[in-house]
Amino acid sequence: MNRLIGFAKTNAASVLVTRSLQQQNFKMLSKNYASKTPAYNYVIVGAGSAGCVLANRLTEDSGDSVLLLEAGPKDTLLNSKRLLWKIHMPAALIYNLCDDKYNWYYHTTAQRHMNNRMMYWPRGRVWGGSSSLNAMVYIRGHAEDYNRWQKQGATGWDYDHCLPYFRKAQCHELGADRYRGGDGPLHVSRTKTKHPLHLAFLEAGQQAGYPFTDDMNGFQQEGVGWMDMTIYKGQRWSAASAYLRPSISRSNLTTEVKTFVTKILFDGTKAIGVEYVQGGLTKKVYAVKEVILSGGSINSPQLLLLSGVGNADDLKALGIPVVCHRPGVGQNLQDHLELYVQQQCNKPITLYKSQKPIKMIQIGLEWLWKFTGEGATAHLETGGFIRSGHGVQHPDIQFHFLPSQVTDHGRVTPTEEAYQVHVGPMRPTSVGWLKLRSANPKDHPILEPNYLSTESDIREIRQSVKLSRELFAQKAFDKYRGPEITPGSHVQSDKEIDAFVRESADSAYHPSCTCRMGQASDPMAVVDPETRVIGLENLRVVDSSIMPSVVSGNLNSPTIMLAEKAADIIRGRPALCDKHVPVYNPKS
């Protein structure tokens, strides 16, 4: 594409110098650590969305050896290449979302602004990480999210520099254009359902005054439309399917599963490897070039802290020797809250009957035989992005519509014919933190998201309820609409809505920003724009934890983009850039 910018000629000399220095550094490190066994050029901790991308891209260079360590198992049957149906059947996502077999099963502290509820945070512990557990919704966020990153100190991470990596990653079934990729590893499909409730949602959204957008990941995020999904030929297309499995046969890639990494090994301030436990044995492995943490927004900062990288006072209090004082490690924790506005359906067209045992067996058998039918989708096929009011620059509320009833992360069996919208604000101002509970690596860290600690967040989620009700009240739903289930018709005043929110809102599964990217001069930044941990050598973090702020949408697609871009940085490749791509700008 002629608009795609590689290296400018003026930068060519500096690139050659950089590569020369890298080669000299490599030779020096090889002399010091290659004699240690085992040793690899790169050791990647975590085979989640980012780790799978890095394992694939770094092993494209045949001269570089890579070890990928994953705490959980493979996403296949034991000693078999057969895929686990509970992971790879799109409709079966709830099975693993609520099961600790492939899930870290985290919980937050009691949230003082939410009736002291401890919130459940599922995170993937399996090949593919959370991309093997999520709802497969492919959303990039808004262009202004990435321009904001640049303003927050992540130089070179604006929309101009991120869009090409979204395209590089993606293989959209509708083909390539200025916004979509057509030949990347990550297959993305567009829903083709004719379900009357999805069609009613799209019509109702337009009746409520929102535009229809034919691609919420393209020119115009704002509006209602069909969701893009990481589903390919009826199967979940996780990062493991997209990136890891195609590269697994390369001789320079080694993978290990059920490895519990306990600390990073340092020689002074230089990362030289990691220590891990596997099968009850403690092992060490060495990295000639770099150690790369891709454990996600909880595990990566936890491992840094356990290894002596973080707030010095906190580390000393736990008896952990301080390697580098980086007070930002574990800080800046951000997440999206959402809630369900549920409506009873007066026609038997929801997924209620599909969740009965006999019907579920039929759906499962069809999927196992042909990868088709109701098992081949997550059913979150329509949604939208809207602005909560005039003067908001770009959408700050997201809808996911579902022609079914889901309660408590799917742990409560549906009781009636119903449909619902998952809705919540996209750019919360409540910020929390993560800290070690103890120096024991097996203890889950303390997770304090600090939900609803600002008036603006309370106001926005209250508005989310009101706007959802307004949408469901449109004419398009007249022939389907029964009584409101939640919040319920008795909940009307702002005070009553706020009470419902405190009791019912939950995580949208988007914890992020705990090792945020910024300038080396920023004392609270953890990594620089090259993804290197500030103050240390040969150590990077590449996952959703390095986002400076949470994006306006789901996090899987941005995490994969981030890893694609980081892979080019690590390999010394020129940064992709596409300037002046048009983006919708609302008139009011």
Q: List the catalytic residues.
A: 510
d(CA 549, CA 427): 8
Nearest residue to 338 (alpha-carbon basis) of 411, 278, 260, 399: 399
Q: Using DSSP bridges, classify how beta strands 446-448 and 432-435 pair: parallel, antiparallel or unpaired.
A: antiparallel
Residue in the block written with tokens 């059920």: 258
Nearest residue to 299 (alpha-carbon basis) of 442, 108, 127: 442
Query: E strands within 127-244?
Result: 137-138, 170-172, 186-190, 223-226, 228-229, 231-232, 235-236
The DSSP-derived string for 9-38 is: GGGHHHHHHHHHHHHHHHHHHHHHHTTSSS
The number of residues making up the chain comes to 588
Tokens standing for residue 361: 């067996």
d(CA 423, CA 467): 9
Q: Which helix (H) or strand (E) is 314 found in, with range?
A: helix 312-317
d(CA 366, CA 373): 7
Q: Do residues 220 and 142 lie in contact, with contact meaning Cβ atoms separated by under 8 Å?
A: no
Residues 6+ apart with CB under 8 A from 498: 458, 462
d(CA 438, CA 306): 9
Nearest residue to 338 (alpha-carbon basis) of 119, 37, 96, 52: 119
Q: Do residues 337 and 397 lie in contact, with contact meaning Cβ atoms separated by under 8 Å?
A: no
Please tell me whether residue 189 adopts helix, strand or coil conformation: strand
Q: Do residues 101 and 75 lie in contact, with contact meaning Cβ atoms separated by under 8 Å?
A: no
d(CA 495, CA 61): 59
C-alpha 345 chain-centroid distance: 32
